[in-house]
Amino acid sequence: MIPEQTILEIEEEIVEEFSLFDDWMDKYAYLIDIGKDLSDLDEAYKVDAFRVKGCQSNVWLRSWTDAGRVYFAADSDAMITRGLVGLLVRVLSGQPSEDVANAPLHFVDRIGLRRHLSANRSNGLSAMIGRMKATAAMAGETANEAL
Amino acid sequence: MNPTESYHSLATTSLDIEAIRQDFPILQRTINGHPLVYLDNAATSQKPQVVLDSIVGYYTSVNSNVHRGVHQLSQLSTDAFEAAREAVRRFIRAANDYEIVFTRGTTDSVNLVAGTFIPTFLGPGDEILVTEVEHHSNIVPWQIAAKRVDAVVRTVHVGQDGIVRAEQVAAELTDRTKFVAVTHVSNSLGTVNDVRSIADTVHRAGIPLLVDGAQAVPHMAVDVVALDCDFYCFSGHKMFGPTGIGVLYGKEDWLDRLPPYQGGGGMIDRVTIDGTTFGDLPHKFEAGTPDMSGAVGLQAAVEYMEFVGLDAIEAYETELVAYTSASLKSVEGLRILGADAPKAGVFSFLVGNAHPFDTGSLLDQLGIAVRTGHHCNQPLMDRLEIPGTVRASLALYNTREDVDRLVDALNKVRVMLI
């Protein structure tokens, strides 16, 4: 499914949603809800080949490309991580591979979740973003070669 | 300045907990808008003002390199460093100050023994026995050292209670076993092992015993002679001292028979290009410029604990552990791992099926610092068939109010996650 909005537009939408909550616990509750709404990743993909290595919570990421766009499906065994994964899938999946590769992802900072992506948080999210962008960059290069 | 002179007066029979809390400046700060509840003491403890002052004081008026300096500052620095050694000797009731070797921490202490004992006394097929509850730092150094001489590291399995018993150790001893390493207090579960009975068992087989005391010394009076262990290791930073300083206690007889660990200045007797003779204990194990300010800080921590009273600390914490155990059990679906007693200061638990990472992240939002994950204890997590736990660990400055805050927060978190 091709999203109607650009990455930046979806990011704006997420920032606005989170701005509705004053209390941090409410933001986390919302994040957990997002995780609950994320469609389940087929169990077949929850294996090491698709695992983004993180010490505490596991993230599994499946990606594929189609007509210059890159698609993602992902899951985590921790609910907060699953919510963050859900946000990233919502922002990036189905977008043109070049846009994904270059996405600055400012929304992470703007909703105050940067600390979940810092190096000492071993939840695999940082590695997940890295892998998403690498997949997109590789897809872009392949497309260019085909031209 | 004698650090003890600057202390406020405290009753020694019971802890004046409010006065103690004021000794630790960091406890006054807030986290995420909440007063800090620090329950990650098993990872590292906070430092009282006297420890901070001792480090600043050392650099302000004493700093100079130890040993062999003829000038006065060097003499003062050497005196301070050796006074710290004597304070540590007294703290663990060792017979001789030269049985106290300063290291970088527990990990360094274990590596020192593994790196010198194994190549000296073990050969192919010989065995080192560790237990399933050991911190990785009391497993991996043995594995590395064993590999070099084709020796084998074997494991004592434990039950769900997490306690290591002498008979379990005895059952794993073979005629190839040459060394045994066991923790005094489990860093994940807080369970306390009867080290003396394990030492007796191991000694009957003519084998030495190393004890990882990192999680014991902050909570109880330790007497290495009464425990009869051959080596005892601990870190300064887990007992209110600075990071980067630790202790290896070794019985004189064993330390004498071990070769130096690292070469360098400070550990030699006479060096020629053809060969070197080494210094006496403990200097033969202290190559290079030691952590002088760390030693001074550790002494201040020892003196702080002695001032509060080791028995008083133990009595206070025993009561707080019982309170914590009962309080945690009031949280619906909460499961504490390992035996309830004997336990020192450390609780590992799971809340229903909630992932420890989620629980820890939400507790952090509420100003409560706990640790989540496998706690450098993967073999134990495998044994308990769990990926990790939430670990709340206490120190002498924690209160019933801290425990109540934790329990209130867990009740909130439970509703969100389950």
Which residue of B32, B358, B364 to mutate against A (max A Cβ within 10 Å)?
A: B358
Query: Residue B2: pLDDT band by 50, 70, 90 thresholds?
Result: very low
Q: Which residues from chain B sit within 8 angstroms of residue A116, using beta carbons?
A: 361
Q: Is B367 on the interface with A (CB under 8 A)?
A: no
Q: How far is CA A91 from the centre of its chain?
A: 7
* Average pLDDT of the residues of chain B: 94
Query: Residue B229: pLDDT band by 50, 70, 90 thresholds?
Result: very high
Contact B358 A55 (CB under 8 A): no
Q: Which member of A20, A44, A55, A146 is catalytic?
A: A55
For residue B5, pLDDT beyond 50: no
Q: Which member of B43, B205, B221, B376 is catalytic?
A: B376
Contact B357 A25 (CB under 8 A): no
Has the ipTM of the complex gone over 0.85?
A: yes
Contact A24 B365 (CB under 8 A): yes
Contact B361 A29 (CB under 8 A): no
Give the per-residue pLDDT at A143: 62
- Written as six digits, the tokens of B190 are 């807080």
User: Is A55 an annotated catalytic residue?
Assistant: yes
CA–CA dist B405, B34 (Å, integer) = 10
Closest residue, chain B, to A55 (C-alpha): B373
For residue A140, pLDDT beyond 80: no
Give the per-residue pLDDT at B216: 98
Smallest CA–CA distance, residue B19 to chain A, in Å, is: 33
Q: Is B361 on the interface with A (CB under 8 A)?
A: yes
Smallest CA–CA distance, residue B417 to chain A, in Å, is: 8
Smallest CA–CA distance, residue A6 to chain B, in Å, is: 31
For residue B3, pLDDT beyond 50: no
Express each pLDDT in B323-350 by its tens digit. Answer: 999 999 999 999 999 999 999 999 999 9
Smallest CA–CA distance, residue B147 to chain A, in Å, is: 26
Closest residue, chain A, to B33 (C-alpha): A24
Give the per-residue pLDDT at B6: 40
Of A29, A57, A122, the CB nearest to B416: A29
CA–CA dist B23, B240 (Å, integer) = 11
Query: Residue B7: pLDDT band by 50, 70, 90 thresholds?
Result: very low
Closest residue, chain B, to A29 (C-alpha): B416
Q: Which residues from chain A sit within 8 angstroms of residue B373, using beta carbons?
A: 55-56, 122
Query: Residue A113: pLDDT band by 50, 70, 90 thresholds?
Result: confident
Closest CA to B291 of B255, B246, B260: B246
- For residues B204 and B228, the answer to whether their CB atoms sit within 8 Å is no
Contact B372 A116 (CB under 8 A): no
Closest residue, chain A, to B415 (C-alpha): A29
For residue A121, pLDDT beyond 70: no
Give the per-residue pLDDT at B4: 43
Contact A57 B354 (CB under 8 A): no
Give the per-residue pLDDT at A123: 56
Closest residue, chain B, to A81 (C-alpha): B358
Per DSSP, chain A holds a count of helices (H) and strands (E) of 6, 4
CA–CA dist B138, B145 (Å, integer) = 12
Smallest CA–CA distance, residue B280 to chain A, in Å, is: 42
For residue A104, pLDDT beyond 70: yes
Question: For residue A95, what is the enclosing H or E element?
Answer: strand A95-96
- Written as six digits, the tokens of B201 are 């068992």
Q: Number of residue pairs across A and B with CB atoms under 8 Å? A: 44
Express each pLDDT in B150-189 by its tens digit. Answer: 999 999 999 999 999 999 999 999 999 999 999 999 999 9
CA–CA dist A106, B54 (Å, integer) = 45
pTM score of the predicted model = 0.91
Contact A28 B417 (CB under 8 A): no
Q: Is B365 on the interface with A (CB under 8 A)?
A: yes
Q: Which residues from chain B sit within 8 angstroms of residue A80, using beta carbons?
A: 357-358, 361-362
Smallest CA–CA distance, residue B141 to chain A, in Å, is: 21
Q: Is B358 on the interface with A (CB under 8 A)?
A: yes
Express each pLDDT in A39-79 by its tens digit. Answer: 889 999 999 888 887 657 888 999 999 999 999 999 998 89
